[in-house]
Structure 1
Amino acid sequence: MSFADEDYPAVPYPGRRPPVSYVHDDATGWELTPDPVASSGWRADGRDLDDWLATRNAVPLRERVPVLCYGSNACPSKITWLRDALGLDGPAVLFRARCTDLAAVWASGLRVVDDQRPATLAALPGNTEDHAIWFATLDQVAVLDRCEGRGERYRLARVDTGEVRLTNGTVVDGPLAYVAAAPRRLPLLAGGERGKPVRCLDVPQSGAAALVGTPASTDGLTVREINGPPAPEDFPGRVFVYGTLRPDASDWWRLEPHATGKPHATALPGTLFDTGLGYPALRLGDGPGVSGWAVDLAQPASALSILDEYEGDEYSRVRVALPGGRLCWTYVWTGPIAGLRMLTAPWGTADPSRR
């Protein structure tokens, strides 16, 4: 299913947003549907999203970072404005997300360009709202920095408050978000210092500009501010290993120096095959399930660059969801599986000399 910008105007702020996950380009949006068999986990117009992006010479999901959009940046018409006014390039990938203990609230100051009141993010225990996670390229983040006035009006930070869960059940740990940097972007406390923030869901823009109150002293969020560009490898900071890199296998020594904490046993939906070359091949999706280990990484970018080289062209690094929804990196087999023997037990259990 596709839609045009005209279906989701940007005025009045924060504009209308589709009730679905979507990818946007050329003033058109295409609905995204989850598919655990696809390497990206999603399909656009019937194709694996990564394949769809490749047809437009756009980078895959693995090279993008998750940005929580709680205001106008989730509006298709606003995205087109970013293209026309600020040079945003390439498809924009936005996933609908359920946000818990977070709220989009009205900021204390008005926008200079049109005297409308902008939204800001705040902690609100017990609250649940639907927003969007934009998996943005680093070039797209640079455009958003300019739009949001990074360092002046808003800061770019990882938000550790609450939970953000995509519609396919995936939990995005510590997503990026533009949070208040200046007092005029802190929440407005309607009714004075003892007042409460006003949710954007409760008061439309037509009434927001007339609100009277004082700036809150804090947005209540627990955040980690980002200096410079974010690193896609940090989202998430863990990897699922199922073959030679397992803690009980021959090449654990490659991964162990980069691990932090204790690896924990888990599994992914999918099928494992014996390549006959001394290492297994993973295909995601329906299957008996694949046992392995989730390993937290002290410095994900450094560790994953080493693992990328080790795995080579036969594998592709993708994000997958562990049981419970937490994101994890893993390596899936990119070659043919015709003629490969399917494994019904964890790799190496039948032959202890193999990892």
Structure 2
Amino acid sequence: MPPDFPDAAYPAAPYPGVVPHRSFVHVEGGGLTLAADPSARSSWRVGALERGTDLDAWLAARDAPPMAGRVPLLTYGSNRNPAKIGWLRRELGLAGPVVVLRARTTGLTAVWAHGLRVVDDQRPAVLAAAPGLVEEHSVWFATPAQVAVLDRCEGRSSGRYRLARVHTGEVRTEDGTLLDDVLAYVGLAGIRRPLLVDGEPVRCADLPQTAARVLRGERAPSDGLEATTLVGAPDPDAWPARLFVYGTLQPGERAWRLLAGATTGRAEPVTVPGTLLDTGLGYPAMLRDPGPGVPGHLVPLRDPGALLPRLDRYEGPGYARVRVTTSDGRACWTYVWIAPTGGFRCIERWRTSHLA
């Protein structure tokens, strides 16, 4: 499948480069357009919605990790530019498809940094708090190996930027999914703090690089962000810290004991897109499709990175753990049925059917 657009259609210079106004998956030489689809296992399709391929299936065909094996990383500077991604491939060994989703941020802004880049004397962007402000950015769904490449590019080990979970503001992908505690490279060194001109930061959206590089001002004492620095490599299993359960793992059901000691709050009734089936084997199965919706409970988890691999073994090979979005837009884990469905019947909810 040839790219829908070449890297050359989105020049990288001047920084931060030209950005596609679409979600895409980057491959060698260019990108393929993505369309949101809540009935797809990955929630996205490669190509047009009506005839596109589920992104997870497309990734599997290229021996690449699925969406569940990737972490959301907010990109607000040049890393959302296709030509820059191509440069990362050539110069730093970035490998595999890169999933880049359009996102809208609230309460966050990309502003010009105090210092210039050594390599080309251009002024880079840094992230800062901006109560009430709405901007358009992107989110990489990156593999841990791809994050390691970005670590080198952003100077994580040398102290230019720190990789952190950002608790300030709100980030939503174009399908409306809330990405709370999203990762981002946040300025750490003094030269990577916001530049203040007449006491105010300068938004990248308000001033181009040609004018930004000659600005004069002061270094801000802080970026205003509430953010927790990540130690080591990111674990895809650790995000999000919520699990949607619809069968034997629900409160009051026989397997709730596996979750009862691992929660941080009460289970909350919610619905996610799909269809619920009775397997006839004492447990239900959920399909990702345009069905009427599956009722269940949203469970907040204390340590999903430790718990979820154990639940994977409990659920067995008939299920796949994927990220889905609740009807009110929250990202969560759940288990969907991937084995044959012969003899199964549709049901409205598990507990009602189970008790009948």
TM-score by length of 1: 0.96
Task: Tell me the equivalent position of 2:187.
Answer: 180
The runs of 5 or more residues in structure 1 that have no matched partner are: none
> How far apart are residue 28 of structure 1 and its match?
1.5
Say if 2:208 is the partner of 1:204: yes
Q: Deviations along 1:138-194, whole A, 9 cap, x unmatched?
A: 000000000000041000000011110111111101110000111100000012xxx
**Aligned counterparts of 1:26 and 1:338: Cα–Cα separation in 2:** 41
Say if 2:108 is the partner of 1:105: no
Task: Tell me the equivalent position of 1:349.
Answer: 352
Task: Tell me the equivalent position of 2:249.
Answer: 245
Confirm or deny: 8 A CA contact 2:246 2:295 kept in the other structure: yes
**Aligned counterparts of 1:288 and 1:143: Cα–Cα separation in 2:** 42
Task: Tell me the equivalent position of 1:125.
Answer: 131
Task: Tell me the equivalent position of 1:43.
Answer: 45
Q: Deviations along 1:242-298, whole A, 9 cap, x unmatched?
A: 001001101101111211111111111211001111110101232222111111111
Q: Deviations along 1:49-89, whole A, 9 cap, x unmatched?
A: 01111111111110100100000000000001001111001
Indicate the percent of aligned positions where both proteins have the same amino acid. 55
Tell me the matched-pair count: 349
User: Secondary structure of 2:133's partner?
Assistant: strand
Structure 1 window deviating more from structure 2 (36-45 vs 284-293): it is: 284-293
**Aligned counterparts of 2:41 and 2:304: Cα–Cα separation in 1:** 21
1:150-189 correspondence runs (5 A): 150-151=156-157, 152-189=159-196
Task: Tell me the equivalent position of 2:307.
Answer: 303
RMSD between superposed Cα atoms in Å: 1.1
The counterpart of 1:9, out of the listed 7, 11, 36, is 11
Letter in 2 for 1:44: V
**Aligned counterparts of 1:350 and 1:67: Cα–Cα separation in 2:** 41
Task: Tell me the equivalent position of 1:326.
Answer: 330
Confirm or deny: 8 A CA contact 2:113 2:195 kept in the other structure: yes
Following TM superposition, where does structure 1 have runs of at least 4 consecutive aligned residues deviating by more than 6 angstroms?
none
Task: Tell me the equivalent position of 2:223.
Answer: 219
Task: Tell me the equivalent position of 2:78.
Answer: 72
Task: Tell me the equivalent position of 2:68.
Answer: 62
TM-score by length of 2: 0.96
Letter in 2 for 1:24: H
The runs of 5 or more residues in structure 2 that have no matched partner are: none
Task: Tell me the equivalent position of 1:143.
Answer: 149
**Aligned counterparts of 1:338 and 1:196: Cα–Cα separation in 2:** 64
